[in-house]
Structure 1
Amino acid sequence: MAKLRKAKIFTKLDLRWGYNNVRIKEGDEWKTAFKTKYGSFEYLVMPFGLTNAAAAFQRFMNDLLHDLLDVTVVVYLDDILIFSKDPGEHSKHVQEVLQQLAKNQLFCKPSKCHFHVTTVDYLGIQISPQGFSMDEKKIEAVTSWPTPKTVKQVQAFLGFVNYLRRFIPDFSSIARPLHNLTQKDKPWKWGEPEDNSFQELKRRVTHRPVLAHSDPNKPYFLETDASGVAMGAILSQRSEDGRLHPIAYMSKSFNDAERNYDTHDKELLAVIRALEEWQIFLESTPQPITMFTNHCNLEYWRKS
């Protein structure tokens, strides 16, 4: 996704037939044999459900679009995203991909394709020149989610919003009462803390936060904080308007041992976890990294 920085126009393609576009190696068809009341059959093309199907198909797509990958194309399985920094060149970039698909007898599903748009939904995330935001369909699903009545319903809700946690500051702290309900041997009790947690997560989702594209040529600003049970962090960069804009959020719950740490160690652990989480951004930056924390004693951690 970092390659989409400065992209201004997008086209999304969805391949027809997915895995079935890959022919099984001649002589290996017997490995897919299955028996029915009508007789025994073998697949000639790769079916869904094979252990290595996803990896094999991704490798196939990477090889197919090798020269264009991360230059004008991002591909995940049968979802292809074409992007251009110069709108005038976008038609050329789309044509290059379509020619490569046609050459290999691969066809798209028109109803799922979007051409020459400035905002596109890709892999459950809305992408625009301004950055990344939540897919509108996912926002609607969360805001209309009924109050859970069972542990399984709580788990289903947490599983769904967990995909959106990158957009929700302090996710772990907010969701803690709901996570506690899913613990084994814990009796079901939906009270005020649980309802507040549920409603706050829904409220945070409706804010539709936008995460800015990262720019490796600009300095990074990292803000961390820790509570008794969890830590949170924000990675930001300063944009042209002079304000800090979030690139990513993260939050993690402390395990039983970490909850026994003193305040200083929890705050330091939050810094370490954040640096590990965003190592891909921070490790190679030539710019200084500015840290923000509300625990002043961390300034002297090397001397202690």
Structure 2
Amino acid sequence: MDALNGFHQNVLTTHSRKVLRIISHFGLYEYLRMPFGIKNAPSHYQRMMNTIFPLELLEGWLIIYIDNIIICSETWQLHLERLSLVIRKILQVNMEISLKKCNSWFNELKALGHVVSGLSLGVDKNKVAAVLLKQMPQKKKEMMSFLGFASYYRQHLKDLAIHARSLYRICDQQTVFKMKQERIQAYKKIRYALTNAPLLLRPVWKLPFSLYIDACGEGLGAALHQVQIVNDKPYERQIYFISRRIKPTEARYGASRIEFLFLIWALEKLHYYLDGSVF
């Protein structure tokens, strides 16, 4: 579900109207409802939605991001019950929903640049294709934009920080932007990784995990895998990828110390998967 002009459904207080006044040669204007573009509007709207559906969010079957509402269910009957409950609450608070953006009875959906299903999390290929159609960055701002986009999908990209290290260097204020062969290769590797980003499988908590780590002079990378049974055959599946650049002080560490450092970092980053699990 998607709220219809979500922000505009919020009536402003008298004080807020005064703060948001617009003065022009035509006169003085005041917003009566919350406009788009205010710095704290998204957080206020999110808090309001969380207040309307507190128990549903706590139980985990309802997901809300600003004005997007996602209902998750295991069966058709349960989904109907939950859908009816959400609609009743929406009617109680006089919220309007955009019917054009409502989709029901899907096994997977696109949300926030991802393709989400009950079994996996994938990258929205349309979002990736739109960025990859652009030419190679020619300015620092363009490169930072590309790296920011890649970082958004970092959980899908193995050793992203290691590949991107040389690209981050040329974005420093004191560095002249110049795409040398090494940086062009790094840029192509990230593009290829985005294009072929793997599906991340939903973990089966009763099965053990496998944690692979790799520490080198350029950065730290780790991959969390799990052997799952598909059609009575075991397959090793990707669950999550993490990586980061090595700090200047860490670059002076010995091989054994940097590996222990990285192992601790990986365990802390993936604690929500590994705490209480066998790996």
TM-score, length of structure 2 as denominator length? 0.91
How far residue 17 of structure 1 moved from its aligned partner, in angstroms, is: 1.1
**Cα shift at 1:142:** 3.6
What is the aligned partner in structure 1 of residue 6 from structure 2? 18
CA contact (8 A) 1:35 1:41 kept: yes
Larger RCO (CA under 8 A, 6+ residues apart): 1
Q: Secondary structure at the match of 2:54?
A: coil
> 1:295 — aligned with what?
none
1:126 maps to amino acid: V
- The corresponding residue for 1:37 is 25
Contact map agreement 2:125 2:195 (CA 8 A) in 1? no
Q: Is the 8 A contact 1:142 1:205 kept in 2?
A: no
Choose from 10, 22, 34 the match for 1:46: 34
Moved more, 265-274 or 102-111: 102-111
> 2:14 & 2:23 partners in 1: Cα distance?
20
- SS across alignment from 1:75: strand
State the match for 1:251 in structure 2.
Answer: 243
The answer for unaligned runs of 5 or more in structure 2 is none
Deviation at residue 14 of structure 1 after TM alignment: 1.0
> Does structure 2 conserve the Cα–Cα contact (< 8 Å) formed by 1:232 and 1:251?
yes
1:172 shift after superposition: 0.6
Amino acid at match of 1:243: Y
Report Cα offsets for 1:232-259 as digits up to 9, x if no partner.
0112233223333222111100111111
**Counterpart Cα distance in 1 of 2:15 and 2:183:** 57
Q: Pick from 198, 203, 208 the counterpart of residue 197 of structure 2.
A: 208
| Residue aligned with 2:56, SS | coil
| Unaligned 5+ runs, structure 1 | 1-12, 291-304
What is the DSSP-based 3-state SS (H/G/I as helix, E as strand, rest coil) of the residue aligned with 1:221?
strand
Which letter does structure 2 place at the counterpart of 1:149?
Answer: Q
Could you give the per-residue CA deviations for residues 141-170 of structure 1, whole angstroms, max 9, x where no partner exists?
A: 243231122222212211221111111000
CA distance in 1, matches of 2:129, 2:16: 45
Does residue 270 of structure 2 align to residue 278 of structure 1?
yes
Paired with 1:116 and 1:141, the residues of 2 have a C-alpha distance of 28
Partner of 1:192: 181
Aligned with 1:160 (options 144, 149, 152): 149
Question: What is the CA distance between 1:273 and its match in structure 2?
Answer: 1.4
Q: In the alignment, what sits opposite 1:139?
A: 128
Asked if residue 87 in structure 1 is aligned to residue 76 in structure 2, the reply is yes
Q: Match for residue 217 of structure 2?
A: 228
In the aligned structure 2, how far is the partner of 1:180 from the partner of 1:151? 10
2-side partners of 1:111 and 1:169: how far apart? 37
Is the 1:239–1:245 contact (alpha carbons within 8 Å) kept by the matching residues of 2?
A: yes
Look up the match of 2:99.
110
RMSD over aligned CA atoms reads 1.9
Q: Distance in 2 between matches of 1:114 and 1:14?
A: 9
Contact 1:57 1:77 in 2 (8 A): yes
Letter in 2 for 1:247: I
For the residues of structure 2 that align with 1:25 and 1:277, how far apart are their CA atoms?
Answer: 42
Equivalent in 120, 135, 140 of residue 151 of structure 1? 140
Q: What one-letter code is carried by the residue in structure 1 that aligns with 2:201? A: A
TM-score (norm 1): 0.84
The SS at the match of 2:247 is: coil
How far is the alpha carbon of 1:263 from its aligned partner? Answer: 1.0
SS of the counterpart of 1:158? helix
Q: Which residue of 2 aligns with 1:78?
A: 67
Q: Is the 8 A contact 1:142 1:202 kept in 2?
A: no
Q: Is 2:88 the counterpart of 1:96?
A: no
| 1:27 CA displacement | 4.8
Query: Given residue 45 of structure 1, which amino acid in structure 2 is its aligned partner?
Result: R
Counterpart residue identity of residue 267, structure 2 = L
Tell me whether 43-52 or 117-126 shows the greater mean CA deviation.
43-52
Give the count of matched residue pairs. Answer: 275
- Verify the 8 A CA contact 2:121 2:201 in the aligned structure 1: yes
1:113/1:172 CA distance change after superposition, 3 Å: same
